[in-house]
Chain A
Amino acid sequence: MDFNVQADTQEISVFRKEVREWLQENMRGAEGLRWSATWSTRENEEEYQFRRKLARELGEKGWLFPMFPVEYGGAGLTIDHQLVLETELDHSGINLAAVFYTLARIVAPVILKWGTEEQKREFLPPMLCGEVSVWQVLTEPQGGSDIATCHTKAIKNGNHYVVDGQKTMVGYHHPPDFLWTLVCTDPSGPRHENLSWLYIPGNSDGITIQPMSLMMGIKNTVFFDHVRVPAFNLVGGENNGWRVANTHLELEHGGEGRVGADPLVERVVAYCQQMRVAGAPLMEDTSIRDIIADMMIELHAVHLFARRNFWHRYVREPHPYGGAQFRYYQRMVRLRNGERLQQIMGCDALVPNLTVNEVVDFEYVVRSGPGMLHGGGTLDTDRLVFARRVGLGRPTKETAPTTI
């Protein structure tokens, strides 16, 4: 086994040098910016514009989706190149999949797998070039995690679908260029066989976006009122949407993987080295060290699970239950770490520190512990997926879909 994400062959080390120099050049101007931990926590126009610019520049080189075929705007590179880009960007506190406010990182692989040739040529290049932002639009007020109970209707009318309904808890603070939307195309059809996916232009008539202020930041409700969408924009076949959703959900639910590590523990240690109580640094206190040890060990396991999933994804041998396991565990660890931070640093853990990244901002970590337990589906759906993949209580095991 080799856990080294920087064990470069000669060819790859040349590429790493190229990427490093390129980033040095193109990250100029980012020094004063404070990266958002997620894309929905706050409005910061300067950061947003920088990220859009960086995405376009990366996209121009095919580096935003390095392993995607060249004809769709990727670079046709290998997992080793992908690793170089991930690890080099990680130094700047960004990961490749989340350069800017878009869910193209999930939507593009789904369209690559399920789209027709014409759809791929039409929809993928703008995403892969970082030109457009995409929201995933699944959750409905009545359904919550039960996305198959989909009341948003898309009824065919000539060469268009007419969409009516409401989605909620979606998106970020900037309106999207496209909405990747789960719709019901056969209201009288059986469950799981009445769904489809529409790639809806964000500027279509009849779309209203209403922001919601939530514990973890900004999300939105989207209203569709007689929105006309070209039939060409239905991806994966009419009423075949549940199978398409499987690919989508596997990526969203942890199967995506990640190589970068969460720098939270280093920040906590730095705080404890500086903060003195009764004349001695907190870092000398055995009970504090014990709490930090638990935090460190759990975050390290989260990191190793993410790295395992990343590897399984890019060698195209999806881990049977790794996505669901990772997502459940990551969320529980974040929740526990929120309390640990309060135990270690008292009310200092509840005050935002605007000089650091949100990723390592204690207040954000505390708040997003409970706030982000359920985004994209509750903890319970993760455990449900786990059970099916392992085949608990059933003779057969559901297989994990292949994704890239």
Chain B
Amino acid sequence: MDLRLTKTQNMFKRAAADFVKVEAPSHIVTEWFRNKATFLPDLYRKAANLGWLGMVVPERYGGASASFTDCAVVFEELGRVPLPGPLFSSGVLSALLVLEGASEAQKESLLPAICSGRSIVIVAITDKGVDWGTESVETRLTNTTGGFVLDGTKRFVYDAEGATSFICAARMENGGIALVLVNRESPGISITPHVGFMVSVAEVRFDRVKVAASSVLGEAGAGWQILDGALQKALPILCAYQVGACQEIFDFTAEYTRTRVVFGQPIGRFQRVQDHCVELSIHLDAARWVTYEALWKLDSGLPAAAGVHEAKAVASEAYYQVCNFSHMVHAGPGTDYGHPLMAHSLMAHTLYQYLGTPLHHKRKMMDALYPRGKG
């Protein structure tokens, strides 16, 4: 047992911390979130140059062959900001999706472009905001001569704005699910941001979009298994991002209890304020240790399915609750879009939904441990 980071991981952590200090100071970040201007091409390019896209992708495809924990350490620091942009959605999830399910030729053409940041590939999964299960893949993929036609509307496509192409989960005529790579510029695609209490999310409509037969990723019909396999590895990295966010909120909330004086004393002297901080810390640390345990399982090749779903449930719930407890401590000033807590609150609500709510993942955890129909 050793619960420390390695030397290399500490180096990654410092590099990421230094980067965000310079590139994403808090007063600028609050503006991004206030204006919902969260796709920042310059910033994305700089992050790509530091090698943070496709970190876990093998070097021969342009990645860094890093471990999942190495990658998570970087994302934990990015979560502290919270740094927006498709670093996770393209650089981790789509990269793993391609690695997991694409043909060798597809890997060779797609992965180096994702890792360098030239291509931003975004996965569009569900047609229903209320569910992330296989039944909610409704967009149709119909055979035509020489290819397919894609028709349907995807809800909650995270980071759609910056996409150069989409990987769309689509229902084939035989009922199977295929993953289809579609260029963003294809005629028939329209992107409409979801307006509301979330960020970086859009609805993507595929209106009779023509796609070539060669655009199907890997084996047609195996789309859901490929997606599941990629999520199994990608989710803990997203969890680490949420852990970083929780840690940052814990730190600035504790600091606020020292400096904010009302009723004649720093508010941290009030036991009820202390109680909020205790609950906040429990959510933070539960998320931290469940996440890093899942990462350790992945890196060690141990069965990780239940642990990964648990981590997503715990980390998304934690980020949401940590924001809420911090709001209790900050009261009015914390609800101003100029306050760093508001960027986190927006992001926490978004990631609570992204790729499935805590309840969805708790049930997946239970199904992984205790399959139904087996008594």
The interface of chain A, by Cβ under 8 A from chain B, is: 1-5, 7, 79, 83, 259, 269, 273, 281, 283-284, 286, 289-290, 292-294, 296-297, 300-301, 304-305, 307-308, 311-312, 321, 325, 328-329, 380, 383-384, 386-387, 390-395
Interface centre among A292, A325, A393 (most CB of B within 10 A): A393
A290 touches B273 (CB 8 A): no
With a CB–CB cut-off of 8 A, which chain A residues contact B32? none
List residues of chain A with CB within 8 A of the CB of B278: 325, 328, 383, 386-387
Are A2 and B2 neighbours in the complex by a CB distance under 8 Å?
A: yes
Does more than half of chain B's interface fall in helix, strand or loop, or is it mixed? Answer: helix
Contacting pair B370 A325 (CB below 8 A): no
Residues of B within 8 A of A1 (CB): 2-5, 69, 292, 295-296
Cβ of B252 < 8 Å from any Cβ of A?
no
Contact with A along B262-302 (1 / 0, CB 8 A): 00011111110111011001100110011011011100100
Instruction: Give, as a whole number of angstroms, the nearest-CB distance from B295 to chain A.
Output: 8
Q: How far is the CA of A301 from the CA of B375 in the complex (A)?
A: 27
Inter-subunit contact B271/A305 (CB<8 Å): no
Whether B254 and A392, one on each chain, are in contact in the complex, defined by CB atoms closer than 8 angstroms, is yes
Some 9 contacts from A to B, beta carbons below 8 A apart, are A1-B295, A259-B1, A290-B359, A293-B366, A305-B289, A328-B278, A384-B271, A386-B281, A393-B265
When distances are taken between beta carbons in the complex, the residues of chain B under 8 Å from A286 are 363
A390 to B363, CA, bound (A): 35
A290 to B277, CA, bound (A): 27
B196 in the interface (beta carbon within 8 A): no
9 tightest A-B CB contacts, nearest first: A393-B268, A392-B268, A301-B286, A304-B289, A393-B269, A393-B266, A387-B274, A293-B362, A392-B257
A401 to B149 Cα, complex, angstroms: 67
Pair A297/B310 contact, Cβ less than 8 Å: yes
- In the complex, whether B303 has a CB less than 8 A from a CB of chain A is no
Q: Assess whether B314 is interfacial by the CB under 8 Å rule.
A: yes
Q: Tell me, yes or no, whether B258 is within 8 Å of chain A by CB.
A: yes
Cβ B277 vs Cβ A305 within 8 A: no
**How many interface residues does B have (CB within 8 Å)?**
45
Q: When the two chains form their complex, are residues B293 and A390 in contact, meaning their CB atoms are under 8 A apart?
A: no
Flag if A394 contacts B310 (CB, 8 Å): no
Partner of A294, one of B273, B274, B295, B362: B362
Cα distance A380–B375 in the bound complex, in angstroms:
43
User: For A4, A297, A321, A383, which residue has the most chain B Cβ atoms within 10 angstroms?
Assistant: A297
Contact assessment for B282 and A325 in the assembled complex, using a CB-CB cutoff below 8 Å: yes
Q: Is the CB of A2 within 8 A of B296?
A: yes
Say if the beta carbon of B373 comes within 8 Å of chain A.
yes
Contact B373 A284 (CB under 8 A): yes
- The answer to whether B277 and A390 touch across the interface, beta carbons within 8 angstroms, is yes
> Which chain A residues lie closer than 8 Å to B310 at the CB level?
297, 300
Task: Please tell me if the beta carbons of B290 and A300 are within 8 angstroms of each other in the complex.
Answer: yes
> Once the chains bind, are A390 and B281 in contact (CB under 8 Å)?
yes
Whether A304 and B293, one on each chain, are in contact in the complex, defined by CB atoms closer than 8 angstroms, is: yes
User: Cβ of A3 and Cβ of B293 under 8 Å apart?
Assistant: yes
**Cα distance A273–B1 when bound, in Å?**
34
Minimum CB–CB distance from B298 to chain A (whole Å) comes to 12
Let me know if B313 is at the binding interface, CB within 8 A. yes
B365 touches A293 (CB 8 A): yes
| Contact in complex: B363, A83 (CB < 8 Å) | no
Q: Is B372 an interface residue (CB 8 A)?
A: yes
A396's nearest neighbour on chain B, judged by CB, is: B258
Please report the C-alpha to C-alpha distance between residue A126 and residue B4 in the assembled complex, in whole angstroms: 36
Taken together as a complex, chains A and B put the C-alpha atoms of A301 and B28 apart, in Å, by: 35
A394 touching B258, Cβ below 8 Å: yes
Residues of A within 8 A of B289 (CB): 301, 304-305, 307-308
Q: Are B366 and A394 in contact (CB under 8 A)?
A: no
Q: How far does the Cβ of B145 sit from chain A's closest Cβ, in whole Å?
A: 45
| B-chain residues with CB within 8 Å of residue A284 when the two chains form the complex | 372-373
If A2-B296, A297-B310, A391-B258 touch, does A290 touch B363 (CB 8 Å cutoff)? Answer: yes
Q: Are B258 and A301 in contact (CB under 8 A)?
A: no
Q: Which of B266, B282, B310, B363 is the most central at the interface, judged by chain A CB atoms within 10 Å of its CB?
A: B282
Which single residue of chain B is at the shortest CB-CB distance from A329? B282
Partner of A305, one of B257, B285, B366: B285
Nearest CB to that of A280 among chain B residues?
A: B375
For B370, the chain A residues whose CB sits under 8 A away are 269, 283, 289
Contact B286 A304 (CB under 8 A): yes
Does B1 lie within 8 Å of A5, measured CB to CB?
yes
A1-B3, A311-B1, A325-B278 known; A297 vs B273 contact (CB < 8 Å): no
Name the A residues within 8 Å of B3 (CB-CB).
1-3, 308, 311-312
Output the nearest chain B residue to A310 by Cβ-Cβ distance.
B1
